[in-house]
Amino acid sequence: MEVAPLPWPEGMRVELLFWSGCPSHPAALADLRQAMAEQKLDPGTIVLREIQTQAQAELEHFVGSPTIRIDGVDVQSPGGEPPGLTCRIYRRRDGRISPTPDPADLRDALRAEPISIVERSV
């Protein structure tokens, strides 16, 4: 018996922000869709947002492509990185550098209670 994916709980929002000059956002989107499917969440609810200008990057606090946010909170803290149209670098849990977030970080962020996501960002 197949279980239908659940929609997001009321008020929860998953966004993938990207800059077209960076080639890693399709891989990040695929990882995010997979993580959502594993959690029985609907990958079709992901909001894709293209950041096109430096001014928009600054307004959105966009520190590079790809950026994944749940309820406005980055799945991996960007630290003190300045906003800009650039490719983002992530540190995987095993210490490797990657152009996409660690899939385990995505799964954890998707499972987290909204209050836990906020607490993790401070």
Over residues 71-121, the pLDDT tens digits come to 899 999 998 999 999 999 999 999 999 999 999 999 999 987 554 343 444
Structure-block tokens of residue 42: 């609907």
d(CA 28, CA 9): 22
Quote the CA–CA distance of 49 and 61 in Å, as a whole number: 13
Return d(Cα 78, Cα 61) in angstroms, integer. 10
Give the pLDDT band (50/70/90) at residue 8.
very low
**Domain-located, residue 4:** no
> How many structural domains is the chain composed of?
1
Does 2 map to a domain? no
**Domain assignment present for 66:** yes
Q: How does pLDDT run across 29-75, given as a tens digit for each residue?
A: 999 999 999 988 889 999 999 999 999 999 999 999 999 999 899 99
Domain extent, residue 33, equals: 14-121
Under a CB-based contact definition with an 8 Å cutoff, are residues 51 and 62 in contact? yes
Residue 120 has what pLDDT?
40
What was the pLDDT predicted at 98? Answer: 97
* Contact indicator for 46, 14 with CB cutoff of 8 Å: yes
6 inside domain = no
Letter string b/e over residues 76-102, b meaning 16 or more CB atoms within 10 A of that residue's CB: bebeeeebebbebebeeeeeeeebbbb
